[in-house]
Structure formats: C-alpha cells, structure tokens
Amino acid sequence: MTRAAHSEEYTRECGQVLYVAFELGAKEWKLGFTTDLAATVRVRVMPAREVGRVRRELTEAKEWYGLVGTAAVRSCYEAGRDGFWLHRWLTREGIDDRVVDSSSIEVNRRQRRAKSDGLDARKLVGMLVRYHTGEPRVWSVLRVPTVAAEDGRQLHRALRTLKQDLARVTNRIKGLLATQGIGGGPRGALGGDLEEGRGWEMAKRCRPGCGRGCSGSGRTPSSCRGRSGRWRGSGGRPWLTRRGRRWSRWSACCACGRSG
C-alpha cells in the first residue's frame, strides 16, 4: 500500500478506532488510550491482571473519546514476564493485539530519557498509531506461539534451570570446603563422605592409633609405594595391591602405608 493510501486510510479511521497500550508491572498496570496522533493521551492505572477492570476501562475510554460501543480496538504491549496469556485473552475479546519486542523500540539518543510507566504508555500508544497508519517498521512484532508449542518449551527450560542450580550449589559447597582446607575430590567431584572430612588442623588417620597422619595427596604417595608391595599394570593405569587388597590410584593414603 502506498503512503497516500495509508494517509487516506488514516484520515478515514481517525476518531473511529481506539488505540490502547499496556505497560505491564508486577503489581499494577498502566493503560494509555488515544484515537489518533493529535488526540490527548488518556492514562489510567489499574491493579495487575484484572481483566474485568480492563473491560471497564475500555468502555470508559470509548465514552471519553465519544466513540460508539462497537468501535474497533487495537492494542499492544511489550513482551516480558507475563508471556502471551494477555494476547490470547485480548484476541478472544475481539481486540487486534500486537506483542512487541522491547529491544526494537526506538529511542531518542539526544533526549534525556526519564523512566516512568506513564511516559512509556504514552510512547507505546503513539507508536501503535504509527504502526497501523503506515510505519510497520517502527518496531518488531513477535510471533505468538500456540499453547501446545509454548508448553513444549517448558521441559528443557526447566531442566536447564535445574542444572544451573545444581552447579551453583555445588560450587558454593566446594568454596566452603576450600576455606577449611578440604579439597573437592578428583575431576571436580565432591567425592567421599563429607562427614569424614577434616580441616587443615585435624589430619585424617587411616586407622585408630596411627599417629603419622595423612599424606595430603590424592594420588598414592611414594612413602606408600615403598611399603605396599608390587605394581600391577592394566591398560596404562596401574593399581597398587598389598596382601590381596586393591587400592585405587586416587585413594588418599596414610604416610604409614595404609589406605585412607
């Protein structure tokens, strides 16, 4: 459609369409109403997620601007924590709604920007009028997924969040152990029973009555090698044996030659 056709359509629809922009917050919403770029913007505040109040505000706005009750309504809001349920409800109510990518909204770099919901509601409703009257590139409109498609995204998102939580808690535990001189085990695992851990001032003993203490090494120390018998190699990964008992190469050994 040409610019002249857009201008003609805008002149024909001027005063016959109600435009509303939603500024969504956690506790309250702000709604900006207008009928064209030259009209006064009406801003109303309401509690969040009360759809009955939205219906009442739309009816009062139509009366305030002198529109008929059957006048078309076009709306928009920025994509965020509320998701797409509001878009689905507005569509079911017969309202032409757009979900906008917040990062695509234009800003004036020279103007000092004041952050307030009232200013944002006025700006959004003005851009909504421009979008419907010849400037489709004024922002980016998101494609709203179906309910089934949105539900399908939740499983792997929840799994990813759980993995991040596990890594965060594990790192915190390792940090607390490190402050007391306790290592995190081989290959980044916690390993072993944490109840048997000892700080730097309490050496771990392999058996009652042993006074020589722990070697402090995750690998088998040389002091244990000389006392414990023979090596048996298997695929380049030897294991230390003594009197029929197999010791892991990663086990902590006491300086006396006994496994920790």
Please write the tens of the pLDDT for every residue from 22-46.
Answer: 999 999 999 999 999 999 999 999 9
Residues 121/34, Cβ–Cβ less than 8 Å: no
Do 114 and 146 form a contact (C-beta atoms < 8 A)? no
What was the pLDDT predicted at 103? 87
Mean pLDDT of 170-184: 82
Flag whether 161 is in a domain. Answer: no
Q: Which domain holds residue 231?
A: 204-260
Residues 11 and 118 grouped into a single domain: yes
* Whether pLDDT at 89 is above 90: yes
Position with higher pLDDT, 156 vs 251: 156
Residue 140 belongs to a domain with what CATH number?
Answer: 3.30.420.40
pLDDT mean over 90-100 = 96
The amino acid sitting at 223 is S
Locate 63 and state its tokens.
């009366």
Q: Mark whether 10 and 83 lie in a shared domain.
A: yes
Are residues 126 and 30 part of one domain?
A: yes
Q: How many CB atoms lie within 10 A of CB 144?
A: 16
Q: Model's pTM, two decimal places? A: 0.63
Per-residue pLDDT reduced to its tens digit, 144-176: 999 999 999 889 999 999 999 999 998 998 888
* The 3-state secondary structure of 201-216, one letter per residue: CCCCCCCCCCCCCECC
132 and 244 within one domain: no
Q: Are residues 123 and 251 in the same domain?
A: no
Structure-token match 């922009």, residue found: 21
C-alpha to C-alpha distances, 150 to 143, 145, 147, 154, nearest whole angstrom: 12, 6, 5, 7
Which of 94, 113, 144 is the last residue before a domain boundary?
144
